[in-house]
Chain A
Amino acid sequence: MEARAESKRQVLRFRGRSYVAFVFSPVVPIAGWLEEIDVTLARSPGFFVGKPIVLDLSGVDLSQAAIAHLVASLAERGIRVLGIEGASPELITPAMPPLLTGGRVCTVEQSEPADQPPPKSVEMPQPKSLLLETPVRSGQSIVFADGDVTVLGSVGSGAEIVAGGSIHIYGTLRGRAMAGVNGNSAARIYCQKIEAELLAIDGYYRTAEDINESLRHRPIQAWLDGNIMKISPLN
């Protein structure tokens, strides 16, 4: 038998992912603010466990030593700081958490302890989908990271659809379809007739050359089975 080293091709994949972080905005006096944290911790000890915490220091004017002390004080309470926001870069030493920028406000649903009954009228989350009633022409790029995209017409050669969720095309897909771009490996691609240039789900892709010739011009669905993109006819 031949002993030959199999050279495996490494595939490097980059994926964006976002997390909701709690932002602490300390106020002076810091000692008093830490007491407030202690009160919260006494009520629900596990509240901050495993949660990313960001320190927003824009409201206070602290020295380098004071920032170090604050981070250490939080660490004593079992709170690890992911990053610091709103401080000038020269105050941050390599030993401290990194400086972050570009944070956006979002609402966080808190699950309070059982003594508060949950509010009765739970708002149903809006179904997140985008419906396009006209053909998508060559050169157009439709990007919808929040959910599914449905196209009633065709997607032209040289056009692309990028969706956070699944993609449904009720015409011919001649361009590119990229589903599950935010790391959603359960996303799928459906089309009425496939002449696609490229299909991608969660970063795994197939070009026209890799799509079985017997599938062309047929209605198909594509999904991920582990690391492999499967394409099967719908009829």
Chain B
Amino acid sequence: MAKVLVVTSGKGGVGKTTSTAALGAALAQAGGKVVVVDFDVGLRNLDLIMGAERRVVFDLINVTQGVAKLQQALIRDKRLENLWLLPASQTRDKDALTDDGVRRVIADLRTKFDWVICDSPAGIERGAMLAMRYADEAVIVTNPEVSSVRDSDRIIGMLDSKTVKAEKGEQVKKHVLITRYDSSRAARGEMLSIDDILEILATPLLGIIPESQDVLRASNVGAPVTLSNAASAPARAYTDAARRLMGESIAMSVPTERVSFMNRLLGRRAA
């Protein structure tokens, strides 16, 4: 059974595209057949992060409008043979996306892949709404700061009301992924704590991705962080998150070198 997963956040710059690429690659490494779909029409980035920007011929809009076949627009990753990219159009805007077109493309992708990962644009407008519209599950990417958390709360409300699943009276399964988590700043109380975030969002935690230079380095070389440096802290955190998405239960931790802090985090404060 194919799963359609939307990676969303409301706020921009929190790490949706990075997380889409990293989770997609990790799921593909684990053996699933994965396609990552860029919904950020007009401001596409996923092709860069995936290192496929020089191979884009057709895009999502071409497929929804029937100009190109899905097979023509899909780009296979050079490193993982079961990882594919469906890029967005850079020359159009979100108005070029139609509900009917997206429905057809998602239905088509469901027949060909195990995981369809939709990289949502920021905001709550048409692009973001259509990216989540046909999702079975959602990863809500949140930074440990108040504006990001409030925007995530808003997006969760929309996942519960504006998706096809919600309209049928079902629930989109939601996961919170905390990114850019800086353990030393959190220890000094300069960031929202994990407990605070989870209390506000009342949604299960998928993983905690530490703030790291490795993420920037990976995007500069055009590789998902889980492929460019699999041993790095963020890569291990993403790999754990991907395994949790597959249904494995793995103890939650912030992969970091500082063991003392990890212990402190694991031995969570009693709220």
Q: Does B157 lie within 8 Å of A174, measured CB to CB?
A: no
Residue on B nearest A195 in the bound complex, by CB = B200
Chain A interface residue bracket vs B: 10 to 19
Given A156-B150, A157-B150: A138 in contact with B157 (beta carbons within 8 A): yes
Verify if B112 is at the interface (C-beta below 8 Å from A).
no
Given A134-B160, A137-B160: A154 in contact with B202 (beta carbons within 8 A): yes
Query: Looking at chain A's contact residues, is the secondary structure mostly helix, strand, loop, or mixed?
Result: loop
Residue on A nearest B156 in the bound complex, by CB = A137
CB neighbours (8 Å) of B199 from chain A are: 154, 172
CB neighbours (8 Å) of B154 from chain A are: 137-139, 156, 158
Count residues of chain B with CB under 8 A from any CB of chain A.
Answer: 13
CB neighbours (8 Å) of A140 from chain B are: 157
CB neighbours (8 Å) of B202 from chain A are: 135, 153-154
Q: Fill in one digit per residue for A114-139: 1 if any B CB lies within 8 Å of its CB, else 0.
A: 00000000000000000000111111
CB neighbours (8 Å) of A174 from chain B are: 200
Q: Fill in one digit per residue for A84-121: 1 if any B CB lies within 8 Å of its CB, else 0.
A: 00000000000000000000000000000000000000
Given A135-B202, A172-B199, A174-B200: A156 in contact with B160 (beta carbons within 8 A): no
Measured between C-beta atoms, what is the minimum distance from A12 to chain B in Å?
32
Measured between C-beta atoms, what is the minimum distance from B218 to chain A in Å?
32
Q: Fill in one digit per residue for A140-181: 1 if any B CB lies within 8 Å of its CB, else 0.
A: 100000000000011011110000000000001010000000
A198–B158 Cα gap in the complex (Å)? 23
A140–B150 Cα gap in the complex (Å)? 12
Q: Does B200 lie within 8 Å of A139, measured CB to CB?
A: no
Mark out the residues of chain B between 175 and 215 whose CB falls within 8 Å of any chain A CB in the assembled complex. Answer: 199-200, 202
CB neighbours (8 Å) of A157 from chain B are: 146, 150, 153, 200
CB neighbours (8 Å) of A156 from chain B are: 150, 153-154, 157, 200
Report B's interface with A, CB cutoff 8 A. Answer: 124, 146, 150-151, 153-154, 156-158, 160, 199-200, 202
7 additional contacts (CB under 8 A) given A134-B160, A139-B154, A172-B199: A138-B153, A138-B157, A154-B200, A156-B200, A157-B146, A158-B150, A159-B157
Report A's interface with B, CB cutoff 8 A. Answer: 134-140, 153-154, 156-159, 172, 174
